Amino acid sequence: MNGHVFGAGVLVLVASLQASAQTLPSGPFVLAGGHVAVGGDASASFAPQDPGFFNFTDYEHSALRTVRFDLSVSVTAGEHFTVLGGFQDENFDSPRVYALYVRIHPWTNRRFDVQIGRVPPTAGLFAHQTYAIDNILIGYPLAYQYLTSLRPDALPASADDLLRMRARGWESSFPIGNQAPDRGVPLFSGFRWDTGVQVHAASDLLEVTASVTTGTLSNPLVGDDNGGKQIAGRAAIRPVTGLAIGASAARGAFVSDAAASAVPGGADANAYTQTALGGDVEYSRDYFLVRVETVWSRWTLPPINEPLINVPLRAFAVSLEGRYKLRPGLYAAARIDHLGFSDITGTAGSQSWEAPLSRVEIGGGYYLQRNLVLKLSYQYNTRDGGRQPTLGLPAAQLVYWF
C-alpha cells in the first residue's frame, strides 16, 4: 500500500467521522428493569499487507488488518448470581463465543466471587487489556501475539525437526501427530479464554486470583484435549495511588493426547507441560501511564530421536509501554518489545530453537468523542532468522464502544 494513499485515506476518514460522531450511542443498553445489560465494541484496523511473519494471530488474522466486533451480555439473577457472555467476530468469519460463565458472589459486602465456565484470563497484565479500547496502540505485545512454531497437536521427532521450523510459527509442521501444516502458539494467547473455575478476592491493597482450567496459557481450550488441568494464579498489590505491582504463575499439560499417542512407544501427555511466570508494574500519574511486563515460559516435549530435545524449551519476553496525554482527547504512545529463546543442539550445532525478535511501535490516539477513538501507529519488527528479517508497517485503527 502506497504511504501517500494510506495517509490520504486516514484524513478522509477523520473528516467524515468528526461530522457524524456525536450521533453514536454512548452507553450500554439496559433491559428488563436493569437485570440485563448489553455492551460492545467495534474496531477496524488497516495496514499494508504483512505476509503473516510478524502479526499473525492464533485466529489466523493479522493484528493490524482486522475488523472485529465484540458483544458482551450480563444477566443478573438477584444479588448473588450473574451470567456473563461474550461474542466475537473477526473479519466477518462465523461469530464465536469467547466467554460464557456464571459469577457467584456469596457475600454482598465483600469483594469475593467465584466464576465457572469460559472465564477471563487469570495470569498476566496485558491479558486483561486485549480489547481494542484498552490497548494504547494497535499491535499487541509479542508475548501475547507472536506465534512460535510449537503446537500441542504435533511434535518434532528431533532437535533438527524443531530447528527447521524456526521462524515458521505462521505455518509449522512436524512428523509426530497431526502432520498438516498449521499455526503455532504464542507464549500467552491474547485472543482466547480458557474453561474452568476461577476464584477472585480483592481489597484496597491486594487483589488475588486463582484458577483451574482445561488448557494452558498458550493454548486455551473449550474442551479438554489431554485430561490434564492448568493451575494459574496472580497477585497484585497497590501500595500507593497509581502504582500496581503484579506477579503471575501457571502450569498445565500442553501436549494433546492424540500427539502423545503418536510418539513411538507412547507417551504420557500430562508429563509434558507449559510452565509460565510473569511480573508486571503499572504506574499512572497526571498525564502519563507506564507499564512494564515480563513473561517467562517453559515447554517440555518428549525426546524421541537423535539429536534429542532433552532440555526444556524456554522463552522470555519483556515489554515496556507508555502513554502521555498531550491535550484533552489527544495522546502519544509507544511500546518496545523483545522476545528471546533458549538454545538447543542440532546436527549443525547449537542455536536458539526459535528466532529472537524485537519490535518498536510508536503512535497515538485522538478521541472524536468519548467512546470513539482513532489511532495511528508505525511498527518496526526485526528478528534473527526467517524469510523476512525486518518489516515496517504503518497502521490506522478506529475503535467504537458502548
Give the CATH number of the domain where residue 184 resides. 2.40.160.10
The dihedral region occupied by 194, where left means phi > 0, alpha psi between -120 and 50, and beta the remainder, is beta
Q: How far apart are CA 138 and CA 378, in angstroms?
A: 9
pTM of the complete model beyond 0.75: yes
Q: What confidence category does residue 252 fall into, taking pLDDT thresholds of 50, 70 and 90? A: very high
Q: What confidence category does residue 59 fall into, taking pLDDT thresholds of 50, 70 and 90? A: confident
Q: What is the mean pLDDT of residues 134-146?
A: 96
402 and 371 Cβ atoms separated by less than 8 Å: yes
Q: How far apart are CA 317 and CA 56, in angstroms?
A: 17
Q: What is the mean pLDDT of residues 140-147?
A: 97
User: What are the residues whose beta carbons fall under 8 Å from the beta carbon of 78, sequence distance 6 or more?
Assistant: none
7 pLDDT more than 50: no
- pLDDT at residue 15, as a whole number: 46
Buried b (16+ CB within 10 A) or exposed e, 27-47: ebeeeeeeeebeebbbbbbbb
Cell 530447528 -> residue = 163
- pLDDT at residue 2, as a whole number: 43
Q: What confidence category does residue 11 fall into, taking pLDDT thresholds of 50, 70 and 90? A: very low
* Residues 276, 391, 334: CA angle, nearest 5 degrees: 60
Q: How far apart are CA 310 and CA 288, in angstroms?
A: 46
**By C-alpha distance, which of 388, 298, 383 is closest to 338?**
383
45 pLDDT more than 90: yes
SS3 label, residue 79: coil
Peptide bond into 307 cis (omega under 30): yes
* Bridge partners (DSSP) listed for residue 402: none
393 pLDDT more than 90: yes
6 pLDDT more than 60: no
**By C-alpha distance, which of 195, 177, 169 is closest to 60?**
169
When divided into structural domains, the chain yields a total of: 1
Q: What confidence category does residue 4 fall into, taking pLDDT thresholds of 50, 70 and 90? A: very low
The domain containing residue 367 runs over which residues? Answer: 3-401
Q: What is the residue-averaged pLDDT of the chain?
A: 93
Q: What are the distances in angstroms from CA 344 to CA 179, 297, 348?
A: 23, 16, 11
Give residue-wise pLDDT tens across range 333-373.
999 999 999 999 999 999 999 999 999 999 999 999 999 99
Buried b (16+ CB within 10 A) or exposed e, 293-311: bbbbbbbbbbbbeebebeb
- pLDDT at residue 94, as a whole number: 85
Q: What 8-state DSSP symbol labels residue 62?
A: B
Please tell me the least confidently modeled range out of 2-11, 55-64, 88-97: 2-11
> 37 is written with which cell numbers?
445489560
SS3 label, residue 127: helix
229 pLDDT more than 90: yes
Please tell me the least confidently modeled range out of 286-295, 305-314, 381-390: 381-390
Cell 472524536 -> residue = 368
Q: What is the mean pLDDT of residues 249-274?
A: 96
- pLDDT at residue 22, as a whole number: 55
The residue that leads in pLDDT, 314 or 51, is 314
> 107 is written with which cell numbers?
457475600
- pLDDT at residue 23, as a whole number: 64
Q: What are the distances in angstroms from CA 103 to CA 77, 80, 83, 110, 166?
A: 10, 8, 6, 14, 42
- pLDDT at residue 52, as a whole number: 74
